[in-house]
Structure 1
């Protein structure tokens, strides 16, 4: 059982899988991609528990791998969906035969602890066009095919063809603009204060990226992150943010402000073997104690079962940096990951805080998060504090740190330093601060 579980954890997750496809397509774009959804698998986990579910998924994954040979690439896209890349040029009929080969093979049940499970699948398939090296287009085609396969009650299989669509002028312009932005210092970090709720002292700063576009003004990341992902620029962008974060930590020290700087780390960076050495180089160059740096990762990255991610996080934590998981509770119900990775901070997603005064379940979720954090010896940060009522309730619950518009929106480093050197935190009024103190 333990061997199987560890084997499941070695399967590349979505990000690592896409990275492998990218490298493969760069050498030869003649590949096909199948997304394989294990039908009604949630019933297995619900009936027999997640441990049994993971063991059965491991058997499914490695039987698929053995079925299609050493040249096939397999990855775990989400809980019960696998990706399979097959090199070569394939017709619709050949892809249909691959599906039939898969389903025929799995008519033999999977057994575990005297339980038998017959796997059935929805499969979406796409054959790459010659000359296409845009894996986003390839993956989108497979996702579209899988969606149609799920909608078909009779076939459970669908093939789509990638239709060549030249990049729009705006898309190409955005790519060029983003490269220029990195090279011409158009990017800037803004900082949102993290505040100790007991006395409203600023204890930390979360770095948030902004783009000072010469024509469009200040642009927030949601607009251009998609372009960075599409053009494989996330590593480049991530390392710009990392260095800017260290430079900001240096500026805080020069201003004699003891502020821990929190830097969001991108998924692609956690699969980059250069990450640790780059961080050590930045710490040396700027003379920063790594205990003054916190790395924030999103919950979907934390959920990754990748051994490389776990190794990276362990090595990063060993340097003295703290590790935080952001948006906790926002997208995933499987809490197993929070048990298995080393964390220092759990950030409660703002959706639970902002509805705190209207939904009693939100309060229960925050209390449960505190229990988990205490068991892991973690701190808790509440995001999205916007009202005095939020502040009072969170204080009563024992939450010690928070951030949100009640204290400040994200501001430039000059404005942030002004905040740290004044009493004007809540409502821009000392009297207001004294009233809640």
Structure 2
């Protein structure tokens, strides 16, 4: 059915678009995916402002949708990158023809005020394999194609075949590194304590992944998570972290330490149809009190308009796990979707906490988050507490739980155990610092 977009907000976002692909793949695997990057679009926004930029992007989206017909599905992957799903079997020549058709059509300028913008594009394309229902493989192929299209010197189009592995020597080496990390048990969970801001007792801990690289030492997730996503290994990493989180929570439970363990869940896992069954299997394996485990989701995933995500979250919550939204307020999500998810925790993004003592708007944002949490019946956790001033201000505002460098950085499991036995000393030290501040 043909869809006419009324505004950018009505175009399916990355996760809703992936949901559309998942539904189509379950019905018919014969489709192709194009990722369309608007070249030099940042020049428009910086020169004419975001309002004009939004108008142009709306026109681009509308033209693409009309150009490829009612069977095509368009989504907005990020600011100036669109995804286009085309049902059917397509040859390499047809996919390149789609690109040529797109570029030729947009030689007609988009007019605004007394100016005109001629849109040009980088396009990455991939045709699905005959038996593939793994949309992460399909999307990773399209992302790889787009990346190559941007790097091409003379051609803004790149096609990747999923049966091929167009990896450079460095890519192969990094992928081998990741494989070796699993084989040699080089990955490790660190834990950042969550503290009751009144009693200064540790009440929980967030799991954070670290890589004990034999040459580079301790590596934080950023770079190798990006690599794992590129090489379609994110599920492997995500489920390793989840299993170790269960193991750590069980170890705490067996020692009589009643901390709630929080673990970050990737979008890839939430779009895995086997996610809930794997969580259930881990629950049975460890016999864990699941009220002691919490799944943390980024705001854009939790608030995405995805029926699959909502269903998965409802099912894991029914098992007894808690659901938290991480980095709340950082993104630009449509908050209407938050009504449809039964959340237990809202974690206020650290950027609002770290500027709390210097920017009154930050305080207003935190207070607004408290109102939302109260309406939802969930608790609020503040991230990024680094000074005693932050602690005082958050206490005065009624925030009960927080985490940050004031209390502890992320530490290995054995150090977390030590911290749980020294709450009184931590509390005494902080109370003294509070008096002299």
- For the aligned pair, the TM-score class normalised by the smaller chain equals 0.7 to 0.9
Of 75, 88, 92, the residue aligned with 2:91 is: 88
Match of residue 146 from structure 2: 139
The residue that corresponds to 2:18 in the other structure is 16
Question: What is the Cα deviation at residue 332 of structure 1?
Answer: 1.7
* Aligned match of 2:101: 97
Cα offsets for 1:268-324 (capped at 9, x unmatched): 000111111111111111110111110000112123211101111111112221111
Q: Where do 1:226-305 residues align within 5 Å?
A: 226-305=226-305
- Find the aligned partners of 2:65 and 2:312 in 1 and give their Cα distance: 29
Secondary structure of the structure 2 residue equivalent to 1:317:
helix
Q: 1:124 aligns with which of 121, 124, 130?
A: 121
CA contact (8 A) 2:126 2:141 kept: no
> What residue is the counterpart of 1:410 in the other structure?
410
Q: Secondary structure at the match of 2:373?
A: helix
Contact residue 252 and residue 259 of structure 1 kept, 8 A: yes
Q: Shift in Å at residue 186 of structure 1?
A: 0.9
Q: Is the 8 A contact 1:354 1:390 kept in 2?
A: yes
Distance 1:435 1:160, change over 3 A: closer
Q: Are positions 1:376 and 2:372 aligned together?
A: no
SS in structure 1 at match of 2:195: strand
The answer for the alignment partner of 2:217 in structure 1 is 217
What secondary structure sits across from 2:314 in the alignment? helix
> More deviation in 289-298 or 162-171?
162-171
SS of the aligned residue for 1:13 comes to helix
Shift of 1:137: 2.2
Partner of 1:160: 156
**Distance in 2 separating the partners of 1:208 and 1:194:** 13
* Residue 154 (structure 1) aligns with: none
Q: Show CA shifts across 1:66-117 (max 9, x none).
A: 7164xx554442488641144332476653434667999x9xxxxxxxxxxx
CA distance in 2, matches of 1:255, 1:214: 32
Q: Which residue of structure 2 aligns with residue 193 of structure 1?
A: 193
Indicate the residue corresponding to 1:353 in structure 2.
353
Secondary structure, in 3 states, of the residue corresponding to 1:162?
strand
Per-residue deviation, 1:423: 2.7
Cα distance in 2 for partners of 1:36, 1:135 equals 12
Residue 74 and residue 93 in structure 1: after superposition, are their counterparts in 2 closer, same or farther (change >3 A)? closer
Number of equivalent positions: 391
- SS of corresponding position for 2:188: strand
Q: Aligned ranges for residues 171-186 of structure 1 at < 5 Å? A: 171-186=171-186
Equivalent pair of 1:343/1:378 in contact (CA under 8 Å): yes
**CA-atom RMSD, angstroms?**
4.3
Using the TM superposition, give the Cα deviation of residue 255 of structure 1 relative to its aligned residue in structure 2, in angstroms: 1.5
1:63 offset after TM fit, Å? 5.7
Aligned to 2:335: 335
3-state SS, counterpart of residue 83 of structure 1: strand
Which runs of no fewer than 5 residues in structure 1 stay unpaired? 48-55, 107-119, 146-157
State the partner residue of 2:113: none
- Relative to the length of structure 1, the TM-score reads 0.76
**Structure 1 residues 361 and 232, CA, compared in 2 at 3 Å: closer, same or farther?**
same
User: Deviation of residue 140 (structure 1)?
Assistant: 2.9
Rate the CA distance shift 1:270–1:254 in 2: closer, same or farther, 3 A: same
| Deviation of 1:231 (Å) | 0.2
